Amino acid sequence: MDRISQAFARAGREKRAAFVAYLCAGDPDFNTSLAACRAVLDAGADVLELGVPFSDPLADGLTNQLAAQRALDGGMTAAKVFELVQKIREFSQVPVIFYTYYNLVFSNGVDEYVRAAKAAGVDGMLTLDLPPEEAGEVLAACRKHGLKTVFIVAPTTPAERLPRIGAAATGFIYYVSREGVTGVRDQVAANIPEAVARIRQHTALPVAVGFGISSSEQVRQVARSADGVVVGSALVNVIRENLDNRAGLPARLRIMAAELVAGTGRAN
């Protein structure tokens, strides 16, 4: 089994949802970002979703937009993102997913980008603005180099597209539980159990749910029906709030991540 499959299978055996932690690579600088990644992994994250900083992150709300800008201002490049993953691999075998945009892949050469990502230790790639209908070159490169693919289902996704999305994904399905962009919300979206059940009719892969999940109680609600729970903005906000205390930032992030992880368990 690959690392992604192992992570979800282990969580299932432990009667919980897998916790997928999102951080923007290089936010606010390389060394602090590496320490932040270690902190969420130490807290029990099952999967690390690394946002590749981009100047036009159209799926992201203000929190993650600002994180990407901090990373870019700090000198983060594609090569340094790969280097960050290599550093993570020195202390962790937790699966790493790139959360990226197609221009970053295309502009570097699709096959070369996927090859370099795999060589660095990346396990899978979610290309936010690339639908499976237009992903032939990326899918071929991922098959060639052994990188798993993650595709999105939204509340507005027509039922007739679900089989195509399910066939294109090889890592897991990411259900975006809200219309719009990433960000902290007061309540989880309605109808998540029904949406997850609908997706499972078209795939045997795990279904992870994200967008708008920001507290342990919200994680607990989603974990009742999803195979994985994705939290990003709530973690990124800890970084933003501690920019003047970068030495203490990892400890604060570890506390927040541990609280979120605690919500993944399911009642027997």
Looking at per-residue pLDDT, the higher value among 183 and 96 belongs to 96
pLDDT (0 to 100) of residue 90: 98
pLDDT above 60 (res 185): no
Per CATH, domain 3-264 is 3.20.20.70: yes
Of the candidates 49, 90, 111, 259, the residue annotated as catalytic is: 49
User: Picking from 42-51, 167-176, 208-217, which range would have the lowest pLDDT averaged per residue?
Assistant: 208-217
pLDDT (0 to 100) of residue 268: 53
Look up the pTM and report it.
Answer: 0.94
For the segment 138-155, the average pLDDT, to the nearest whole number, is 97
Is 49 one of the annotated active-site residues of the chain?
yes
- CA separation, residue 98 to residues 46, 71, 211 (Å): 15, 15, 16
Pick the closest to residue 247 from 28, 14, 21, 72 (CA basis).
Answer: 28
For the segment 77-104, the average pLDDT, to the nearest whole number, is 97
For the segment 162-184, the average pLDDT, to the nearest whole number, is 82
pLDDT above 50 (res 181): no
pLDDT above 50 (res 223): yes
pLDDT above 50 (res 201): yes
Of the candidates 27, 46, 60, 123, the residue annotated as catalytic is: 60
- Name the average pLDDT for the chain: 93
pLDDT above 70 (res 180): no
> Using 50, 70 and 90 to split pLDDT, how confident is the model at 267?
low
In contact, 51 and 262? CB cutoff 8 Å = no
pLDDT (0 to 100) of residue 178: 63
**How far apart (Å, rounded) are the C-alpha atoms in residues 39 and 50?**
14
Domain ranges of the chain: 3-264
Q: 250 preceded by cis ω (within 30°)?
A: no
Residue-by-residue DSSP string for 54-99: -S--TT--HHHHHHHHHHHHTT--HHHHHHHHHHHTTT----EEEE
User: Picking from 90-94, 149-153, 210-214, which range would have the lowest pLDDT averaged per residue?
Assistant: 210-214
Q: Is 128 helix (H, G, I), strand (E, B) or coil?
A: coil
Provide the residue type at 77 as one letter. Answer: T
> Torsion angle, CA of 164/160/188/254, rounded to 10 degrees?
0
